[in-house]
Chain A
Amino acid sequence: MAIFGLWVINKAGGLVYQRNFADGLAQLTSNEYLVLAGTLHGIHAITSRLSPTASSSGAHVIEAETFKMTILLTATGTKFVLLTSLAEHSANALLQKVYEAYADAVMKNPFHTPEMPIRSEGFDTRITALIGTGQT
């Protein structure tokens, strides 16, 4: 069980926060992460349109052979994506806590500009306290 990484995608599809924890996934350049986040944003929009029920919140989990990505869509359109191993069951609970840390340390910080990359020490500390090295 391991947590590989965390992404925060703003409502326009831009990657505003990306951090790696445990090793296990290929390391990409920051440009590649940006492209992937944008692509995920598009895929997510498609899944929410494809849903047979109206007003779907889109894909929640995307599973691959060795890892899965859990997606939390907030009411304001910000997406939190957690990349974990398949056996990780606490991903949803963890994402809620990340959302809480985001609300506290990012949105209440007067030096943060909404929709811009997150450079807040407070948020980094809170995430380190939550996830640490990614080994659970």
Chain B
Amino acid sequence: MSALPPSRFSVLSSSSAELLSPTNSSSRFSLTSAPSVATATTGTPKPLSRPNIYDRPLNKTRSAEVSASAFAFLFSEVVQYMQKRVSGINDLERRLNTLGYRIGTRVLELMVWRTESASKAPKREIRFLPVIMSIHTNVWKAVFGKPADAIEKSVQNEDEYMIIDNEPVITRNISVPRDMSQLSCSSFTAGIVEAVLDGLGFPARVTAHNTPVDDFPLRNTILIKLDKSVLEREELFK
């Protein structure tokens, strides 16, 4: 494997490990040595003054990162868990897609909130090309810490676009066995893209396909097949 990519990638929001850690849990779990009469007079202990996780400013975690290793182990468990509950490769990919979709809706909401709320003239993308460009750079940077490597437009079908990642972060450590060679764990990423497109009003079917080349054995193509209504609308803009 040539030049290793950065070992960490960013997330949009990070949950607080401190809040979840048992050593920091609120004092009501601790045993007091004082007799019960004393507690009755002093009243119940005050809850921690730390703000609720939902109340903390979202911009603070803008550049926060999670450990890529921790994520790799979590994702590995996710795939193993699902594999026991599906009937085939297509089913597994569909499930990964659904899981990514749930993340994509949140990614979109957070990104719009962060970029548009600060700008003086907030706007909404209504054309497809700026949208796919923004997915290629902004979404990828927010989720994986680097932009994707290329965007391509299908020659045969004009409703198909592709986003290419030469070294997808989430499948970096995954070796798919030969008997499942069609499986692409990047279906998870496809789900994220599908949710972002859906949220912006560009309904599409998004799938992931392995397209290895000699230099990049893990190269992956995210295939976007746009809904007919989107193409018709694009036509009206011209």
Contact = CB atoms under 8 A, between A and B. Distances in A.
B23 interface: no
Interface stretch (A71-79, A90-98, A116-124): A116-124
Contacts of A123: 175
B173 A105 contact: yes
B174 interface: yes
Contacts of A89: none
Contact of A119 (B72, B75, B177, B180): B177
B76 A110 contact: yes
Nearest to B185: A110
Q: Interface residue tally of chain B, by bracket?
A: 10 to 19
Majority secondary structure of chain B interface residues (helix, strand, loop or mixed): helix
Contacts, number: 41
Interface string B57-96: 0000000000001001101111110010000000000000
A104 B173 contact: yes
A110 B177 CA distance: 10
A121 B175 contact: yes
Contact of B77 (A110, A111, A129): A110
Interface of A: 104-105, 107-111, 119-123, 125-126, 129
Interface of B: 1, 69, 72-73, 75-80, 83, 173-177, 180, 185, 217
26 contacts: A104-B72, A105-B173, A105-B175, A107-B73, A108-B69, A108-B72, A109-B76, A109-B173, A109-B174, A109-B175, A110-B75, A110-B77, A110-B78, A110-B79, A110-B80, A110-B174, A110-B185, A111-B174, A111-B176, A111-B180, A119-B177, A120-B175, A121-B175, A122-B174, A122-B175, A126-B1
